[in-house]
Amino acid sequence: MRHLLQRARDALARLAGVRRHAHIEQRLDDEMRFHIDMQTERNVSAGMSPADARRAALVAFGGPERYREATRDEYRSRFLDELAQDVRYAVRTLRRAPGFAAVVVATLAVGIGATTAIFSVVNGVLLRPLPLRSPERLAWALERSGDGGLRLPSYPTYLDWQAQAPSLRGAVEGMAFVRGQTATLRGEAGPDPVVVAYITPGFFALTGTQPLVGRAFGGDEERAGTEPTVVMSYGLWRRRFGGDRSVIGTRLDLNGVATTVIGVLPPDAYPTFGELWQPIGVIEATDPVLRRRGARADSRTVVRIAEGADSARAAAALAAVGRRLAAQYPAESEGWTSVALTPLRAELLGDVRPTLLTLAGAVALVLLLACANVANLLAVRAAGRGREFAVRSALGAGRGRLSRQLLAETLVLAACGGVVGSVVALALVRVVRHAAGSRLPRADQIELDGLALLFCLGISVVAAVIVGVSPALRAARTNLTDRLRAGASGSVGGSREARLRSTLAVVQLALALTLLIGAGLLAQSFRRVLDVPLGFAAENLVAIRIQPSARKVDEPAQAAALFERALEAVRAVPGVSDAALVNHVPVGGGNISTPVEVEGTRERSAGATALYRTASESYLRTMRMRLARGRWLSADDIRSRTPVFVVNETMAKRFWPGQDPVGRRVTLRRTAPGRSGLGEPLPGVVIGVVGDVHQFGQEADVEPEVYVPYTVEVWTWITVVARVSDPGLTVPALRSAVRRVDPDIPLGGEGPSAAIRTAESMVSTNIAQRRFAVSLVGAFSGAALLLAVLGLYGVLAHGVAQRTREMGIRAALGATAGDIVRLVVTEGAKLALLGVGAGVACAVALARSIRAMLFQTAPEDPTAYLIMAAVLIAAALAASYLPARRAARLDPTAAIRAD
């Protein structure tokens, strides 16, 4: 009967509410008529006719619509006043529970701050438009062979494509060429190596690049024989000139030539490898790489696809020209008849997109987990305030007012969480920018800007809605009699609330396990990357790039003598155990390939290439590489300049499978930039096989590689590799030793262009992006685990508080402390197992999305699943033990009397 009466009362209340809303408009009309009637009577008393009095009253009052709007404004003002009251009451309520408010604000701040920080990263790197005109129509072209091989087009090939521009109309709007080359920039601090990008006329117009300071090249400046001018990169401008805008007009000493600065480009200008830009006419007459069709090194051919066309159509148009070139120049172009166009954005961003999207997904899970945790806390708090809501309802508070009150409290908490979260996001953005450095493209574009703050505001509102709707709706369904009786008995919440809290705890555990498994898979991949042998010992190995001025290395004999003196000077430095010469050091970023023709294996060597290494007799020993067969280059080979070759195991297996390659004849092509013999045949005999070296890092496949005595083809620059006892102590002495040989050799620079680098730093840079992803995902998964464990602890602690009397009765009937501990821990273990089951299912579904980031690791790798599930269960049991121990220590008498 009591329940029937209660239902009837609720129905009457709902009906009264409907009637109250339905009578609002009617009341507006009644009040309008009353005021108009009163004004009409006053007008009649003043001597006006009834019709004129009525009309004057309507005119004076402003008409029915004006009165209706005024009355609605009154109701709107009343609503805003009530909302302000709700907010003030919410603040007072939360001030009485500072611990609860602090936990909720901190939890929301972690979720909102992390999400906003990662949004800033994704926005700065991926979403922010490139400073180029229609960048989606820009691509760089590669020649493609019939078997899918790719190579850079040579400068003569580019000129042939450019000459065929009329036939490309409709598919290709324009194209340009850029050649990268290291130069020497001299200043007060001494010579420094810089990378100069030599560009063809119209390059900036094609890409739509606008200088940040100054101007770009004019028509006359792009022709050979004019006064040398240069456009500077943003990074070099900030590093060398402190961002001083008066740099325009400054004359630089570039390769011994006075060159005038005319402009500074924006931070992420293309190409990214350039520190200075000059017209290609500066080197066109002297650089043999630009004159030979078979020479391809450090260059890009940029294509702007015509409006309305796509990359496939543009590639087909260029391929038609390629087929004519293959017939015209069979020695250099036979078999390379198609073209591949790669979007410029892909080159600028590299393979960072999967990493950032993975981080964004991880942070989204952390935010969901934080919302679930806060929703659990709010549900517990709302259940504990059941009697308060019942009393307020009995005093006349409607359901809407109660719901609005809880939503106001949630909005206050979310606003505070958003403010603190923006501070957390600012700190995280600074940490990410510092940690990313050169590991992330466009890292200097990462900032907490207005868009990120707007995103933070939106996330705060969404979080408030997610965590506040359920408690508000449940409070609106308050049963007056039940709540008052529940409050009298000391109970808070029923079985439905308990099930809701347990469900939220399971959701938190599942989300945390999903993140933990993702972090475990990435960590497993990272460990396996580190386990891949490089093929040489990187510890205590220092690489010193020796690049003298051009006049000192014009003659090969002169250059070889200078390199030999530098080598001897390095060997004489205390702490150096051995040293050697090589053109390109492994994982150092520079590599040049040479065409390979193997005698008797034309079908296997057609279109084949190998990495080209020139080295000294001590290189194998200094690098601690493995000799697999035959012998290494000897001192006699170096002195006699005999073209003998040592190949790696990958090349031996490719060209001589199951055979001994020693004694086989091979013909290479000379590839030394700046030498007159560039592209000429270089026949020789294989004298040995060495172990494979990962020249591009542990994750890249090993390519065929051939080693040649450095005296056979003396380059215009060389690298000295030195095995030292302590790089930190030895590097200054190495710099001084080289400067004594030639003070004009540039030994400065930063990052990849630095003249002196340790092999360990180069290896570290190579795997930096993977380490960055593993570190951030690991940090987020750790935060997720902490939030999930706290959520489980809250559920169990609240459950123990609800069942205080039950625990007392159990203890009075003979239950031991161990029995009570086991009871509570078993309940926590059940929730943990449910979370593990749901988390594993989610992880299996989501792990496939990070397959591209895994190295030698399957998305279903059982090791990561088992270890992370064990970690979660152990943490859950630890969280369960704390409230269980408190329950076991309850005094039975006091527990039974608890109200």
Phi and psi (nearest 5°) for 688?
Answer: -170, 165
Average pLDDT, the chain: 79
For residue 28, the model assigns a pLDDT of 45
User: Which pLDDT score is estimated for 617?
Assistant: 94
> 861-885 in b/e burial notation, b at 16+ Cβ within 10 A?
beebbebbbebbbebbeebbbebbe
> pLDDT class for 706, splitting at 50, 70, 90?
very high
Residue of 845 and 435 predicted with greater confidence: 845
Quote the pTM value.
Answer: 0.72
The pLDDT value recorded for residue 58 is 65
CA atoms within 13 A on the CB side of 635: 1
Indicate whether 652 pLDDT > 60: yes
Three-state SS sequence of 29-92 = HHHHHHHHHHHHHHHHHCCCCHHHHHHHHHHHHCHHHHHHHHHHHHHHHHHHHHHHHHHHHHHH
820 vs 270: CA distance, rounded Å: 68
Mean pLDDT over residues 791-811, rounded?
A: 72
Q: Which of 73-82, 212-221, 348-357 has the lowest mean pLDDT?
A: 73-82
Residue 568, pLDDT above cutoff 90: yes
**Per-residue pLDDT reduced to its tens digit, 764-780:** 877 877 887 788 788 88
**CA Rg value for the chain:** 38
At residue 692 the predicted structure's pLDDT band, cuts being 50, 70 and 90, is: very high
* Confidence at 724, pLDDT banded by 50, 70, 90: very high
* pLDDT at residue 478, rounded to an integer: 53
Query: Residue 895: is its pLDDT beyond 70?
Result: no
Which DSSP string corresponds to 273-304?
T-SEEEEGGGTTTT-HHHH-TT---SEEEEEE
Higher-pLDDT residue of 818, 528: 528
pLDDT digits (tens, 9 = 90+) for 201-242: 888 888 888 899 988 888 777 776 678 899 999 888 988 888
Confirm if 274 and 233 have CB atoms less than 8 A apart.
Answer: yes
Q: Using the CB atoms, write b or e for 580-598: b if 16+ within 10 Å.
A: bbbbbbbbbeebbbbbbbb
For the residues 708-720, what does the mean pLDDT come to?
90
- Find out whether 869 and 840 touch, Cβ atoms under 8 Å: yes
Q: Which of 261-265, 369-373, 451-455, 476-480 has the highest mean pLDDT?
A: 261-265
Q: Where are the beta strands (DSSP E) in 306-378?
A: 338-343
User: How sure is the predictor about 23, in pLDDT bands with cuts at 50, 70 and 90?
Assistant: very low
- Residue 822: its pLDDT value, please? 81
pLDDT at 665: 92
Between residues 258 and 409, the one the model is more confident about? 258
* Residues 74-82, mean pLDDT to the nearest whole number: 63
* For residues 346-373, average pLDDT: 78
CB 580 within 8 A of CB 724: no
- Which of 64-73, 223-232, 672-681 has the least mean pLDDT? 64-73
Residue-wise pLDDT tens digits, 503-539: 878 888 888 888 888 888 888 888 888 888 999 999 9
* CA distances to 116, 241, 270, 434 from 437, in Å: 20, 20, 18, 6
Beta strand extents in 167-275 (DSSP E only): 172-187, 190-199, 213-214, 229-232, 251-254, 257-264
pLDDT at 489 over 70: no
pLDDT at 13: 46
Angle formed by the axes of helices 63-95 and 2-45, to 10°? Answer: 140
Q: Which residues are registered as beta bridge partners of 260? A: 229, 251
The 3-state DSSP class for residue 184 equals: strand
601 vs 721, which has greater pLDDT? Answer: 721
What is the C-alpha separation between 96 and 102, in angstroms, rounded? 12
What pLDDT is attached to residue 493? Answer: 47
pLDDT-based confidence at 894, cuts 50/70/90?
low
Find, among 294, 337, 197, 148, the residue nearest to 592 by Cα: 294
Per DSSP, 337 falls in state -
Identify which has the larger pLDDT, 883 or 741: 741
- Could you check whether the bond before residue 271 is cis, i.e. omega within 30 degrees of 0? yes
pLDDT at 77: 62
Average pLDDT over residues 634-641: 89
Q: How confident is the model at residue 616 (pLDDT cuts 50, 70, 90)?
A: very high
Residue scoring higher pLDDT (446 or 476): 446
When mean pLDDT is compared across 211-215, 592-596, 778-782, 891-895, the lowest value belongs to: 891-895
Q: Sort strands 251-254 and 257-264 into parallel, antiparallel or unpaired.
A: antiparallel
d(CA 550, CA 553): 5
Task: Tell me what percent of the residues of the chain surpass a pLDDT of 90.
Answer: 13
Q: At which residue do the structure tokens 């420094």 appear? A: 192
Rounded to the nearest angstrom, the gap between the alpha carbon of residue 744 and the centroid of all alpha carbons in its chain is 40
CA distance 7 to 24: 26
pLDDT of 397 higher than 70: no
Q: 589 or 735: whose pLDDT is higher?
A: 735
Mean pLDDT of 29-40: 68
What whole-number distance in Å separates Cα of residue 407 and Cα of residue 467? 9
Most confident region among 135-139, 188-192, 499-503, 618-622 by mean pLDDT = 618-622
Residue 3 has pLDDT above 60, yes or no: no
Can you tell me the mean pLDDT for 335-339? 80
Phi, psi of 359 (to 5 degrees): -65, -40
Whether the pLDDT of residue 859 is over 90: the answer is no
Report yes or no: 893 and 806 within 8 Å, Cβ to Cβ: no
In three-state secondary structure terms, 728 is helix
The pLDDT of residue 168 is 81
DSSP annotation of 314: H
Residues β-bridged to residue 543: 721, 757
pLDDT band at 646 (very low <50, low <70, confident <90, very high): very high
Phi then psi for residue 225, to 5 deg, are 90, -5
pLDDT (0 to 100) of residue 335? 75
Q: What is the 3-state secondary structure (H, E, C) of 769-793?
A: HHHHHHHHHHHHHHHHHHHHHHHHH
Query: Residue 830 carries which side chain, given as an amino acid letter?
Result: K
The one-letter amino acid code at 101 reads A
Confidence band, pLDDT 50/70/90 cuts, at residue 633: very high
Residue 469 has pLDDT above 70, yes or no: no
Q: With contact defined as beta carbons under 8 Å apart, do 430 and 113 qualify?
A: no
pLDDT at 18: 42
Average confidence (pLDDT) over 542-551: 85
Burial of residue 470 (number of CB atoms within 10 Å: 0-12, 13-18, 19+) = middle
- Considering only residues 638 and 21, tell me which one the structure prediction assigns the higher pLDDT: 638
- In the predicted structure, residue 5 carries a pLDDT above the cut 70: no
Q: Which two tokens stand for residue 822?
A: 């086991």
Flag the least confident range among 32-36, 192-196, 528-532. 32-36
What secondary structure letter does DSSP report for 194? E
Minimum mean pLDDT among 399-408, 422-431, 861-870: which range? Answer: 399-408
